[in-house]
């Protein structure tokens, strides 16, 4: 961690989230580090670590550069947050995890600035996946729609595979499944109906379509 990120890290807030949400044997290693801009809206839910127990394995608001380091982050957890190792959450990101929901950040996940992650069921972000700035991940419509007294818009899980690059300004809505190795083009809006998409594809648009297959990408 460079000097600028050390300056932005809040030891008090980091101590609070570790001690409140983790077993003592894990908390003393400070696996979760948060910036001074982080706001804990609620920490009534649980946090589970599914990776190495080491200092800074999960970082909030300490990745990126420039103005993103000063953007406020909000964490509202009533459910279960699961973190692998080497997870970075960028400035300005908002995380809202409902009482019966799970949000899983697998090892190597990077979330850029000003993303919104809202769950009432389950959202999974696979290993070594990158979520670019201003992206929305949402497994719920937030409001129920009834026809003949039956809910017709039930919550559906969102699954992002391993080594996926979600470009900026993308919305991945309920029922969406992105296969391993894919790239989601900037500005795409995807709401379910991703059957037939092969791994290692570039996908885009609304409705979603494949524009290239058998691709590879790296940072």
Per-residue pLDDT for the chain (219 aa), expressed as one digit of tens each? 565 566 789 999 999 999 999 999 999 999 999 999 999 999 999 999 999 999 999 999 997 666 677 889 999 999 999 999 999 999 999 999 999 999 999 999 999 999 999 999 999 999 999 999 999 999 999 888 889 888 888 899 999 999 999 999 999 999 999 999 999 999 999 998 788 899 999 999 888 899 999 999 987
Distance between CA 199 and CA 204 in Å, rounded? 14
Give the number of other CB atoms < 10 A from CB of residue 66. Answer: 9
- Examine the domain organization and report whether 82 and 173 are in the same domain: no
- Examine the domain organization and report whether 115 and 212 are in the same domain: no
**Residues 89/61, Cβ–Cβ less than 8 Å:** yes
- What pTM value is reported for the model? 0.94
Residue 93 lies in a domain: yes
Residue 145 lies in a domain: no
Helix (H) or strand (E) holding 88: strand 87-89
34 Rama class: left (phi>0) / alpha (psi -120 to 50) / beta: beta
- Give me the number of domains the chain comprises: 2
- Examine the domain organization and report whether 159 and 108 are in the same domain: no
Q: What is the pLDDT of residue 65?
A: 62
């Amino acid at each position: 961690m460079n000097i600028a990120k050390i300056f932005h890290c809040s030891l008090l807030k980091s101590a609070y989230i570790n001690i409140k949400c983790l077993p003592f044997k894990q908390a003393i290693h400070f696996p979760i580090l948060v910036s001074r801009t982080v706001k804990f809206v609620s920490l009534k839910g649980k946090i589970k670590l599914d990776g190495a127990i080491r200092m800074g394995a999960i970082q909030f608001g300490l990745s990126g550069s420039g103005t993103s380091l000063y953007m406020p982050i909000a964490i509202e957890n009533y459910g279960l947050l699961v973190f692998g190792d080497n997870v970075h959450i960028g400035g300005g990101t908002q995380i809202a995890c409902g009482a019966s929901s799970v949000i899983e950040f697998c090892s190597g996940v990077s979330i850029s600035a000003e993303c919104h992650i809202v769950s009432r069921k389950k959202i999974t972000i696979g290993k070594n996946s990158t979520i670019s700035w201003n992206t929305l991940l949402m497994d719920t419509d937030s409001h129920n729609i009834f026809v003949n007294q039956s809910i017709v818009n039930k919550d559906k899980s969102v699954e992002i595979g391993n080594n996926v690059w979600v470009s900026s300004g993308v919305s991945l809505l309920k029922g969406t499944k992105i296969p391993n190795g894919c790239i989601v083009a900037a500005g795409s809006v995807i709401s379910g109906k991703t059957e037939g998409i092969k791994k290692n594809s570039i996908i885009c648009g609304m409705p979603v379509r494949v524009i290239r297959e058998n691709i590879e990408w790296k940072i």
